[in-house]
Amino acid sequence: MAKKKPAGSQMVYYFGKTRTDGDTTMKQLIGGKGANLADMTSIGLPVPPGFTITTECCDQYYQNKQKFPKGLMDDVAEAVKTLEKETGKKFGDNSNPLLVSVRSGAALSMPGMMNTILNLGLNDESVVGLVNATGNERFAYDAYRRLINMYGDVVMEVHHEYFEEAFAKIKKKYNAKDDNDVPTEGLIELVHAYKEVYKKHTKQDFPQKPMEQLELAIEAVFKSWNSDKAISYRRIEGITGLKGTAVNVQSMVFGNMGDDSGTGVAFTRNPSTGENKFYGEFLINAQGEDVVAGIRTPQPVDEMPKWKAPTDKTIGKKMHDELMKIKTKLEKHYKDVQDIEFTIEKGKLYMLQTRNGKRTGAAAVRIACEMAKEKLIDEKTAILRIPAGDLTQLLLPSFDPAAKKKEKPLTIGLPASPGAAFGKLAFSADEAVDRAHDGEKVILVRKETSPEDVDGMHSAAGILTSTGGMTSHAAVVARGWGKCCVAGAGAIEIDEKGKKIKVNGKTFTHKDVISIDGSTGEVFAGEMATVSPKMSGDFETVMKWADKHRKLGIRTNADSPEDAKRARDFGAEGIGLCRTEHMFFEPERIIHMREMILAEEKPAREAALKKLLPYQRKDFEGIFKAMAGLPVTIRLLDPPLHEFLPHDAKSQEEVSKATGIPVAKIKTRVAQLHEHNPMLGHRGCRLSVTYPEILVMQVTAITEATINCLGKKIDAKPEIMIPLVGTVKELAMLRRITEETIEDVKTKKGFKGNLPILIGTMIEIPRAALTADEVATEADFFSFGTNDLTQMTFGYSRDDINSFLPDYLSEEILERDPFQSLDTTGVGQLVAMAVEKGRKTKPKIKLGICGEHGGDPASIFFCHTVGLDYVSCSPFRVPIARLAAAQATLKHGK
């Protein structure tokens, strides 16, 4: 028996009755698949024995100019010997041959990304051995033709189509409709034909030495780690820092040995809805990938008990019972939903894979709640189990049932991934990417999708396939992303080249809109109306749990009463950022705004501002009303003035008409206001320093609105935020004018009481962070404007970053877009420093964040650790922030 080598140098990890080296904690080293195969073996589940080559070997393979690490094949040979002993079969034998599969498997699951080779070890001699050992000639040649095909395709890159063509010829000759209808002699002929195809395209004979087959297959798995589709998938999923893929070599079991054999995939609970019901598909007399490939349509596992074989009338019931026992055992062991692959060989069940099942946001919520109820996990685990970002899916609209009633679906496919999507048809992944990039909403229609399509699938609003089941590539990937998908809509005829589909006699082209309902599988012509979602009881439970544990307050970024109201319904505890510039863009307002900017003298400016005042006041009253009793942070005017200017001739004419200023003069003024770097130019508090009357108007509107609301018993709580401060003196000056203005308004309105309006600033210029102790002397609160802070700390223009960001991400110079997820190492230091300095000056100073980062779970975690009081994010992200804040407390402690 092979001896275990000292830790660190071991390249091959065995699993089986002889010994099991790995366990579930070793995912980094032996990959998720390998770790769980070892683990399942250890807990006594029926797993065919095998061994795993470490991810470190893959890493070394690349470091070593694509050569195997020294001694790897010796260790592999030794492990094969152990496997031969354990199974009583011999690799390449002509009486009872050992066959193996070669499977990839990185630390994180990448469904369908890498290639599996089955039946390895077959050659012209051992195929006869397999006939002798099994007494099943048809099966043996079926296995052999599959090997030549997979090996040719995966290892030698012979296009699958060439094999398909050869197969089609044989099928035609034997008048066979299905693969399974081809008789034995047909399969023997097919093996010859496949060998010819192989030779024609590789200029070599199909390798007859099993060890040579194995070596090349292992290398092919290593190579697949850096295939385009694998790289693409890692980029989209943001997977970085992995060593490579492990390689699993496992003795074969056969689902294609007759009517008492089969193969399947299943989830221990429903991955779309979360319902606690075993869910999956199986195929009788089939091997491996047949289920996922969509060649034959599988049956739902629910129907398994009805399965009868001539030799065994109760086989289905027995297998189903056993699977149910395994479901319980796996869930008890992993304490999570499992996604499993199994094969039945002549009435004996084998487990080939288990992993935590990918699920939709809705399913994640339901599963967490129900598992907590079942006492499988505790409340804290349940909270940590739900990917906070996935809650967005629960907040998305669905099709309006009333509208649906009036419309007959064109066809109904499988409800592969819930959601409601509509768009124009796109027929290839590239087309979907391009058109989505140009701002179009598209539905990607394919016969079936493959890993090459992931970019296009990601870009599309929804995915529609005409073949493939609930566990097909499209379905699995879409569910992982929470993207709407209808699969297997067989009535749809796709003409990819002609760019049209035909369904029930109607034709649709790339110009036509269709709607797909991923929760029901329905497909409709045209754009269907949508309705906002209703929150489930489980969602409420999760939110309640989250509120119990979180320390961070949650506010929202909202500029209108509607947004404010929505955010409040989602649980926002205030507004952390109310931008005022958006309020100036409506047609009847922009004209006065332009008039103000174009004015050269203060009196003219003041006259224009006077016309804007009532609009602003009314806006604020609406927002105060919606947020009554909760704080509302209002940011004074921030963008460069030129953003409001009329740049084209037509709008210049309009302004001229409305204001009486000659067009020529407008042109000159526009040119005067031009800046080379507007985002670093005349904006933010700098505007109020040069034009204090703008600030006066805005503060007047805020104060009047507050007094008016209080008069109506509406508890308005404004906080005035002065943007883009870099030195304490700017803030001191503007604070003084703000306070004077508030006093003026009070006097004018005869308001006697106390108006508790806080005055604070954004920390978004690095200098403000560095001198936060000084700035704090003039501020009642800080709100970190991490969008600008990131822009100025990195020196990346946030409006132009897309010209180089993709390269930075693919070269892994940056792990992720720093505008989406806060750069905690760099920008984070400035935040942490400002928190510390600010609190030193003013221990009670209120601290929050209002950049985009306020709704990003990883950034929220950081905000919790540096001790902010609240985060503020867009209304739809409020539930995400509540959950992420609770997760931060649980992960980080106080």
Q: Which of 31, 34, 48, 413 is the binder for ligand ADP (CB under 6 A)?
A: 48
Q: Which residues contact 424 (CB under 8 A, 6 or more apart)?
A: 435, 440, 441, 442, 443, 510, 511, 512, 513
Q: Which residues contact 653 (CB under 8 A, 6 or more apart)?
A: 663
Phi, psi of 712 (to 5 degrees): -95, 20
- Sole window of 251-259, 307-315, 383-391, 578-586 interacting with ligand ADP (rule: CB under 6 A): 251-259
Q: Is 848 left (phi over 0), alpha (psi -120 to 50) or beta?
A: beta
CB 195, min distance to Mg ion, A: 28
Point out the catalytic residue in the list 320, 458, 473, 592. Answer: 473
Cα distance between residue 558 and residue 555, in whole Å: 9
Residue 785 interacts with, from Mg ion, ligand ADP, none (CB under 5-8 Å by kind):
Mg ion
CB 413, min distance to ligand ADP, A: 23
Contact between 263 and ligand ADP by CB under 6 A: the answer reads yes
Q: Considering the complex, state which of residue 109 and residue 556 has its C-beta at the smaller distance from ligand ADP.
A: 109
**Tokens 């031969």 sit at which residue?**
84
Q: Which of 788, 823, 852, 856 is the binder for Mg ion (CB under 5 A)?
A: 788
Contact between 301 and ligand ADP by CB under 6 A: the answer reads no
Q: Which amino acid is at 188?
A: I
CB 283, min distance to ligand ADP, A: 10
Residue 853 annotated to the active site: no
Residue 788 interacts with, from ligand ADP, Mg ion, none (CB under 5-8 Å by kind):
Mg ion
Q: Considering the complex, state which of residue 75 and residue 788 has its C-beta at the smaller distance from Mg ion.
A: 788
* DSSP code at position 374: T
Contact between 273 and ligand ADP by CB under 6 A: the answer reads no
Helix (H) or strand (E) holding 334: helix 315-334
Contact between 288 and ligand ADP by CB under 6 A: the answer reads yes
CB 143, min distance to ligand ADP, A: 10
CB 110, min distance to ligand ADP, A: 8
Contact between 353 and ligand ADP by CB under 6 A: the answer reads yes
Q: Considering the complex, state which of residue 261 and residue 273 has its C-beta at the smaller distance from ligand ADP.
A: 261
**887's tokens:** 């997760």
Binders of ligand ADP in range 100-139 (CB under 6 A): 101, 103, 112, 116, 118
Q: Which residues contact 243 (CB under 8 A, 6 or more apart)?
A: 28, 55, 56, 58, 59, 107
Residue 262 interacts with, from Mg ion, ligand ADP, none (CB under 5-8 Å by kind):
none
Contact between 20 and ligand ADP by CB under 6 A: the answer reads no
Chain Cα centroid distance, residue 475: 14
Contact between 823 and Mg ion by CB under 5 A: the answer reads no
In three-state secondary structure terms, 44 is coil
Residue 361: closest CA among 790, 717, 887, 879: 879
CB 59, min distance to Mg ion, A: 22
Helix (H) or strand (E) holding 720: strand 717-722
CB 152, min distance to ligand ADP, A: 17
CB 91, min distance to ligand ADP, A: 14
Q: Which residues contact 594 (CB under 8 A, 6 or more apart)?
A: 644, 645, 646, 655, 659
Q: Which amino acid is at 392?
A: T
Cα distance between residue 145 and residue 880, in whole Å: 51
Contact between 416 and ligand ADP by CB under 6 A: the answer reads no
CB 403, min distance to Mg ion, A: 40
Residue 252 interacts with, from ligand ADP, Mg ion, none (CB under 5-8 Å by kind):
ligand ADP
Beta carbons of 389 and 857 less than 8 angstroms apart: yes
CB 63, min distance to ligand ADP, A: 25
Contact between 791 and Mg ion by CB under 5 A: the answer reads no
Phi, psi of 82 (to 5 degrees): -60, -45
Residue 83 interacts with, from ligand ADP, Mg ion, none (CB under 5-8 Å by kind):
none
Phi, psi of 420 (to 5 degrees): -125, 125
Contact between 30 and ligand ADP by CB under 6 A: the answer reads no
Helix (H) or strand (E) holding 444: strand 442-446
Query: Interface mask (CB under 5 A) for Mg ion, residues 752-771, using x and -?
Result: ------------x-------
Q: At what angle do helices 55-63 and 27-42 cross, to 10 degrees?
A: 150
Residue 343 interacts with, from ligand ADP, Mg ion, none (CB under 5-8 Å by kind):
ligand ADP
In three-state secondary structure terms, 489 is coil
Beta carbons of 566 and 875 less than 8 angstroms apart: yes
**The 3-state secondary structure of 243-311, one letter per residue:** CCCEEEEEECCCCCCCCCCEEEEEECCCCCCCCCCCEEEEEECCCCCHHHHCCCCCEEHHHHHHCCECC
Contact between 449 and ligand ADP by CB under 6 A: the answer reads no
CB 253, min distance to ligand ADP, A: 5
Q: At what angle do helices 160-173 and 137-154 cross, to 10 degrees?
A: 150
Q: With the CA atoms of 196, 116, 273 and 490 taken in that order, what torsion angle do they form, in degrees rounded to the nearest 10?
A: 0
In three-state secondary structure terms, 127 is helix
Q: Which of 52, 60, 256, 353 is the binder for Mg ion (CB under 5 A)?
A: 353
Q: Considering the complex, state which of residue 252 and residue 724 has its C-beta at the smaller distance from ligand ADP.
A: 252
Q: Considering the complex, state which of residue 26 and residue 443 has its C-beta at the smaller distance from ligand ADP.
A: 26
Contact between 146 and ligand ADP by CB under 6 A: the answer reads no
CB 685, min distance to Mg ion, A: 11
Cα distance between residue 100 and residue 251, in whole Å: 4
Q: With the CA atoms of 8, 14, 15 and 18 taken in that order, what torsion angle do they form, in degrees rounded to the nearest 10?
A: -120
Beta strand pairing call for 506-509 and 500-503: antiparallel
Helix (H) or strand (E) holding 815: none
Q: Considering the complex, state which of residue 129 and residue 785 has its C-beta at the smaller distance from Mg ion.
A: 785
- Sole window of 52-60, 246-254, 437-445, 469-477 interacting with ligand ADP (rule: CB under 6 A): 246-254
Q: Considering the complex, state which of residue 106 and residue 720 has its C-beta at the smaller distance from ligand ADP.
A: 106
Contact between 485 and ligand ADP by CB under 6 A: the answer reads no
Residue 873 annotated to the active site: no
Residue 576 interacts with, from Mg ion, ligand ADP, none (CB under 5-8 Å by kind):
none
Q: Output helix, strand, coil percentages for the chain, rounded to the nearest 5.
A: 50, 15, 35
Q: Considering the complex, state which of residue 34 and residue 574 has its C-beta at the smaller distance from ligand ADP.
A: 34
Residue 855 interacts with, from ligand ADP, Mg ion, none (CB under 5-8 Å by kind):
none
In three-state secondary structure terms, 796 is coil
Q: Considering the complex, state which of residue 111 and residue 305 has its C-beta at the smaller distance from Mg ion.
A: 111
- Sole window of 138-146, 247-255, 316-324, 704-712 interacting with ligand ADP (rule: CB under 6 A): 247-255
- Sole window of 224-232, 248-256, 575-583, 645-653 interacting with ligand ADP (rule: CB under 6 A): 248-256
Number of residues that bind ligand ADP (CB under 6 A): 17
* DSSP code at position 795: T
Residue 852 interacts with, from Mg ion, ligand ADP, none (CB under 5-8 Å by kind):
none
Sign of the Cα pseudo-torsion (60, 64, 67, 68, in order): negative
Q: Considering the complex, state which of residue 118 and residue 477 has its C-beta at the smaller distance from ligand ADP.
A: 118
Beta carbons of 37 and 105 less than 8 angstroms apart: no
Residue 48 interacts with, from ligand ADP, Mg ion, none (CB under 5-8 Å by kind):
ligand ADP
Point out the catalytic residue in the list 685, 850, 863, 873. Answer: 850
Beta carbons of 721 and 775 less than 8 angstroms apart: no
CB 497, min distance to ligand ADP, A: 29
Cα distance between residue 421 and residue 427, in whole Å: 16
**Residues at the site binding ligand ADP, with contacts judged by CB under 6 A:** 48, 101, 103, 112, 116, 118, 250-253, 263, 288-289, 341, 343, 352-353
Residues recognised as catalytic: 473, 850
Q: Point out which residues bind Mg ion (CB under 5 A).
A: 341, 353, 764, 785, 788
